[in-house]
């Protein structure tokens, strides 16, 4: 886990992502980074642009990181980038962030480790996202987004992943305004969707994680993405918690 964070965080200039953000080019590309970028490109397409890793500069600008790395969402990021197994080149104004997929990706890596070690029943709990592999269903509580000692319900899981994302769980004040970490690429600002929490069941933690983020930004894609990725979802709107 420490190695994964060290390699792919945007908060240091020594990680692969940090080096790419500073130099705009990376050679001797780790196969895992290549795979993550190809997956991110695919998610950009299926989400009609809602999932965009070029939001890193916006997060910095809004105070979630070093202001010297400030930037905006990059138009045509994927068309202007070169992604091969030998070399990655991104546009000169780009600052990328893999936070929208990193936790799910890492949880699925732990799932593979557990299975390779012969464990038939286990839970990988990533804090907000988890994967369950159990002979009998396990009831997982769904935390209320603002009253953290309450739940909005429970869901049984035997084999699959749950991801929860919220626009009210991770907020901060900067330049006199309140921001959160779910960035709408269409506005280069924190999402203003009326959905404040998403709860997504999927076959893998990676898909659950990414879909939970996308549906906070574009809740109108719920039916389309649920059908495509065999999801079960709950979208909690502002007027439902008042």
Supply the CATH number for residue 170's domain: 3.10.520.10
116/235 same-domain check: yes
pLDDT, greater one: 180 or 125 = 125
CATH of the domain at 54: 1.10.3980.10
Q: Return mean pLDDT, the chain.
A: 92
pLDDT, residue 158, reads 96
Confidence of residue 4 (pLDDT cuts 50, 70, 90): very high
**Of 45, 70, 99, at which residue does a domain stop?**
99
CA distances from 194 to 49, 129, 218 (A): 19, 22, 10
Examine the domain organization and report whether 146 and 37 are in the same domain: no
Q: Are residues 199 and 143 both part of a single domain?
A: yes
Q: Pick the closest to residue 229 from 82, 15, 39, 63 (CA basis).
A: 39
Q: Are residues 113 and 95 in the same domain?
A: no
Q: What is the pLDDT of residue 242?
A: 58
Measured distance CA(70)–CA(27) in Å, rounded: 24
Phi, psi of 178 (to 5 degrees): -95, 130
Between residues 167 and 44, the one the model is more confident about: 44
- 94 and 113 in a single domain? The answer is no
Same domain, 136 and 233: yes
The stretches of the chain forming alpha helices (DSSP H) are: 2-8, 16-23, 31-46, 56-61, 77-80, 99-116, 205-217, 222-229
**Sheet containing 25-27: order of strands:** 25-27, 87-89, 82-83
Given a cut of 90, whether residue 176 has pLDDT beyond it is no
Q: Which of 43, 69, 99 is the last residue of a domain?
A: 99
Q: What is the mean predicted confidence (pLDDT) over 170-181? A: 74
Residue range 111-158, pLDDT digits in tens:
999 999 999 999 999 988 999 999 999 999 998 888 888 888 999 999
Q: Write out the residue range of the structural domain in which residue 76 sits.
A: 2-99
pTM: 0.93
Of 99, 118, 149, the residue that ends a domain is: 99
Q: How many domains does the chain have?
A: 2
- Over 80: is that where the pLDDT of 233 sits? yes
82 with 119, same domain: the answer is: no
Tens-place pLDDT, residues 10-33:
999 999 999 999 999 999 999 999
Question: Are 125 and 216 members of one domain?
Answer: yes
The pair of structure tokens assigned to 220 is 């109108």
Task: Examine the domain organization and report whether 31 and 78 are in the same domain.
Answer: yes
Are 79 and 168 members of one domain?
Answer: no
Asked if residue 169 has pLDDT above 90, the reply is no
Residue 240: predicted pLDDT? 77
Distance CA 189, CA 141 (A): 31
- Whether residue 164 sits in one domain with residue 59: no
């Amino acid at each position: 886990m420490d190695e994964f964070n060290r390699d792919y965080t945007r908060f240091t200039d020594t990680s692969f992502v940090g080096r790419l953000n500073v130099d705009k080019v990376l050679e001797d590309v780790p196969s895992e980074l290549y795979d993550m970028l190809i997956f991110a490109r695919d998610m950009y397409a299926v989400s009609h642009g809602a999932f965009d890793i070029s939001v890193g500069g916006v997060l910095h600008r809004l105070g979630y990181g070093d202001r010297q790395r400030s930037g905006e969402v990059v138009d045509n990021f994927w068309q202007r980038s070169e992604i091969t197994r030998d070399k990655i080149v991104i546009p000169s104004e780009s600052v990328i962030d893999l936070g929208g997929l990193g936790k799910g990706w890492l949880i699925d890596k732990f799932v593979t480790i557990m299975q390779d070690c012969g464990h038939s029943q286990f839970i990988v709990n990533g804090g907000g996202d988890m994967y369950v592999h159990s002979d009998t269903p396990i009831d997982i509580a769904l935390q209320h987004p603002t009253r953290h000692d309450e739940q909005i319900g429970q869901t049984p899981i035997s084999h699959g992943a749950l991801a929860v994302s919220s626009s009210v769980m991770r907020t901060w004040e900067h330049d006199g305004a309140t921001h959160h970490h779910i960035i709408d690429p269409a506005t280069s600002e924190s999402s203003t969707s009326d959905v404040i929490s998403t709860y997504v069941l999927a076959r893998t933690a990676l898909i659950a994680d990414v879909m939970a983020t996308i549906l906070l930004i574009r809740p109108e894609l719920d039916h389309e993405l649920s059908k495509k990725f065999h999801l079960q979802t709950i979208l909690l709107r502002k007027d439902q918690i008042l």
